[in-house]
Amino acid sequence: MAAASAEELYQQGREAFERGEAEGAEGLFWACLASGGPHGAALHYLGLLRRRQGRAAEALALQRASGRVHPQLGWNWLAAAELLEGQGRWGAAADAFRRAALALPGEPWVWLRWKELEGLAALRGERLATGLPPRAYRLWQRRLEPRPAPGFTALPAGWRLLRDPHCQLRPDLGKQLAMLLAADGAQGAPPPDLVYGDEDRLEAGGRRWDPWFKPGWVPESFWATPWLDSHSLWREAWLEANGLPPPPLDPVQRFAWQLQALEAGPRIVALPRILAHRPRPLVETHERAAAMAAHLQRQGERLLLVAPDGEGLRLQWALPAAPPLISVVVPTRDRPDLLARCLEGLRRGAAASPQVRLEPWVVDNGSRLQATADLLQRWQQQPGLRLQVLPRDEPFNWSRLNNAAARVARGELLLCLNNDVMGPPTPWLQRLAAQALRPAVGAVGAVLLHADGTIQHAGVVTGLGSGCEHPYRHLPEQHGVHRGRSRRLTGWGLVTGACLMLRRQLFLASGGFDPAFPVEYNDVDLCLRLGAAGYRQLVPDGVVLRHDEASTRDVKRSATALPARQRIAQRWPQALAGEGPWWPAASSRQHLDGRPREFDPLGWT
């Protein structure tokens, strides 16, 4: 019998490898090499075996040898790249991923991995997705930030600059303002009355860090983190037309002057450039908090508290003397484990919220388990909460289930709550209610965390990522992006239906959730309708809940997602395409972590 050829030995080795016979496969691959000399695929499989054996150095040497023999195989470069990545050798790993991507054009995920490692190599291991770490910001300044024009440029005629005397300003601030005015004029827009830009911090040695990319004019966001102190640009003709006196020199009096000027309704535009460098943070004071409280009271806001909170303000609204009734709607189909945690979170939240009353409803969408029936019976007998059950044994339609409960509920406020959301023993129900009762506000949401403590929801932005996305998703709760905006009262275009409160009559008058969206995008559609009617959506500070997202369904296999996405795009084309004021114009709209938009062309993830 003739001896097996090198190729036959390789094929036998591959079959043994696929059967999980590691020892036999290894012998056949070595026999292949001994019989026919270098064989790229055999070297690749030997490298895989060495990696499984924990012999990483030998595995890498074999994969590199395979790449030299058979560079178009691609999988050898991929295996080498992963080994190099494991060693923290970002540059070499990026090069190996590049070779793999070129050899494997039908595997787009390899190209994405190449770009990820290219970014890690440039940033020496820092990841942009963690929220613009220091090296990334320094690289942006050196290579990507739009450069100032040389020399100082004066402001256009008729404009007044207010600035913190300790701040350094971008030298071509005047040119930046002139370019903005020219662009507005070319589009036929009226001139702005107030312009502000972004800022960062400046260390004693001159190093810039901690950028603050600011949103457009979102009232609640400004109230919580007033951002006009470092610099603001005012049109003098508008100031004169509104009878505003010259701004005082005293910082606190100047802050009060700015708030008074805002009450005259200027047209406000954000200029998405770092215009100011602040040498030290502005820590809010009781005097500034008092000025903000007076400003909001003049606008009819019923405040309970405005207090300094580090670099921002903590704001709480007063509730009526008669505690409002909140009808809480929790749709469920079995999963008594989740429902028990959700109801317990409501009980604890109610105990910590004596200024509201609760009317909890469980919409039972055809549960079958005895454990679910027992749970509902126990909670119906629970003193204080008096759980009510609305049976709806029908095909699952989240919109229809919530609408049915809203029609029979009695509460002044309606809280839509998913059964996989669990509240803490804090007055979160009061804080939601105080905002939902404000006449200017439509839907109020919460910060929702994954089980690992990272953010699942802190608001929703249209035109971000793939369409409607959750900003700061997967960042830690205590992140510093945009001055830790998600930890403070802030306005958004939309909030998620997983935890959404609004006035019940407003919900009914707006038509409730549209059953044409049985699972996805029903909350988006409702919030867009509320926004079109002039209501603001927001997330208050101090309302942080846990959300075990998609615990009751497989999101990736949803049969309703694509039709819903198509329907929402057809119904709201302009709203979904428009950028809106909620996300900073200087930040990427392709990513959720707040990185500067200039990183986008690099493709780094």
| Cα–Cα distance, 536 to 438 (Å, whole number) | 10
Res. 471 pLDDT band, cuts 50 70 90: very high
pLDDT for res 554: 62
Res. 225: pLDDT tops 90 = yes
> Could you tell me the fold of the domain covering 6-140?
1.25.40
* Residue listed under structure tokens 């009355």: 193
State the CB neighbour count (10 A cutoff) for residue 204: 7
Cα angle for residues 194, 199, 200 (degrees, 5° grid): 170
pLDDT for res 385: 80
Res. 298 pLDDT band, cuts 50 70 90: very high
When pLDDT is averaged across residues 494-498 and rounded to a whole number, the result is: 97
Which stretch of 312-326, 379-393, 435-449, 516-530 has the lowest confidence by average pLDDT? 379-393
Max CA separation in the chain (angstroms): 106
Kindly report, residue by residue over 134-150, the tens digit of the pLDDT. Answer: 999 999 999 999 988 77
Spans of all domains in the chain: 6-140, 159-278, 283-318, 325-598
Kindly report, residue by residue over 505-521, the tens digit of the pLDDT. Answer: 999 999 999 999 999 99
pTM summary value = 0.91
CATH class of 325-598: alpha beta
